[in-house]
Amino acid sequence: MTVQTTGDRTDPVEGRVLVVEDNEINRTVIVRMLKKLGYECDVAHDGREGLETWRAHGHNLIMMDCEMPVMSGYEAATAIRAEQGEEGGPLIVATTAYVSNEHRDRCVAAGMDVFVAKPVTLAKLREALTRCEALAAERAAGGGKETDSSFGLVAS
C-alpha cells in the first residue's frame, strides 16, 4: 500500500473510498465530507453489499457502519480480513453510535483499524484519516496492522 499526495492532503489510499452505511442521511453526510476533503466514494447500503463491492473493486479504505441489516459491519469486516489474509488488506474505519469498551473490542476482533463515534463530523473524519495515513505508512514500512492496544478511537 502506498501513501500518495494529492493537493494539500496525504492519502492513505489509492482509488476510491467505500462508504458502507445503511442510514441514508449518515451515508450522504459521510460521502459529502469525504468529497469535501477531495476523496471520491463508492457506497453500499449494508455489509453484504459492502463486501461484494470491495471484492469487485478492491478499495483500500472502507468507512464501515457497525450495525446494519442483512450483514453487520462486524461480519463484513471479519469476512474481508479472512479473505485478504496476511496481505494487509484495506484500512477499515468503524463508524458507530456505540463507544463502549464492548463495542470497541468487537471492532478490534472484526479487524477494524479505527473507530469513529457518530455523529461523524468533519473534524472526526479528518482525525480518522490522519490515523489511517499513519497506519498506511506503517504498513508500507513493513510494520503490519496496529495492535489492539493502539486501536484508534475518534470520539470527541
Average pLDDT, the chain: 84
Per the structure, the complete domain to which residue 8 belongs is given by 4-154
| pTM to 2 decimal places | 0.85
User: How far, in Å, CA of 103 to CA of 45, rounded?
Assistant: 21
For 72-83, the pLDDT digits (tens) are: 999 999 999 999
Residue 153: per-residue pLDDT: 52
Number of domains in the chain: 1
With 90 as the cut, is the pLDDT of residue 35 above it? yes
Sign of CA dihedral 8, 12, 15, 18: negative
Which pLDDT band, with edges at 50, 70 and 90, does 13 fall under?
Answer: low
With 60 as the cut, is the pLDDT of residue 145 above it? no
Q: For residue 16, what is the domain's CATH number?
A: 3.40.50.2300
User: How far, in Å, CA of 62 to CA of 94, rounded?
Assistant: 8
